[in-house]
């Protein structure tokens, strides 16, 4: 296991060399801020709760009946939301996936839009269907 860890550490150091110094410093600050790998990943991938601003938010991977990394859960206020489009969820999967499934734009191997790279804020179809924006 130590050999695997050393190999991963070497790969991370190699990647870090190519980041601008400011980005590298910001990333290292984040790494040092969290006590566990899970907390670090949650901070990067889920972010803070859009309702209360708490940093105690997690994705719902491994949660029976949900098991979805694109669904966020706030441990403070209990909000459940789509981490890709930001909509509050009462059921899942998020309705934006229905829009994506019917769209004829190219998809990656996970069914995500290649054109918008998971950034639903830039997709005019999702904005119109879910948020009524032109």
Mean pLDDT of 60-72: 91
In whole angstroms, give the CA distance from residue 21 to residue 113. Answer: 31
Mean pLDDT of 52-72: 91
- Which band of pLDDT confidence, cut at 50, 70 and 90, is reported for residue 3? low
In whole angstroms, give the CA distance from residue 15 to residue 13. Answer: 5
- Which band of pLDDT confidence, cut at 50, 70 and 90, is reported for residue 12? confident
DSSP letters spanning 7-74: HHHHHHHHHHTTS-HHHHHHHHHHHHH-SSHHHHHHHHHT-S-TTT--S-EEEETT-TTT-EEEEEEE
| pLDDT the model gives residue 18 | 84
Please tell me what DSSP assigns to residue 120.
G
Mean pLDDT of 125-131: 87
Tokens of 102: 């019917």
Q: Give the mean pLDDT of the chain.
A: 84
Q: How many CB atoms lie within 10 A of CB 68?
A: 19
In the chain, what's the furthest Cα-to-Cα distance?
54
């Amino acid at each position: 296991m130590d050999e695997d860890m050393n190999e991963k550490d070497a790969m991370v150091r190699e990647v870090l060399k190519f980041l601008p110094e400011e980005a590298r410093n910001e990333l290292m600050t984040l790494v040092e801020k969290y006590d566990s790998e899970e907390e670090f990943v949650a901070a990067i991938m889920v972010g803070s709760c859009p309702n209360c601003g708490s940093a105690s938010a997690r994705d719902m991977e491994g949660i029976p009946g949900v098991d979805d990394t694109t669904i966020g859960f706030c441990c403070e206020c209990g909000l459940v939301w789509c981490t890709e489009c930001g909509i509050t969820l009462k059921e899942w999967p998020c309705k934006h996936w229905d829009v994506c499934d019917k769209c004829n734009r190219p998809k990656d191997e996970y069914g995500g839009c290649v054109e918008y790279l998971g950034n639903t804020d830039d997709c005019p179809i999702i904005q119109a269907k879910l948020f009524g924006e032109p």
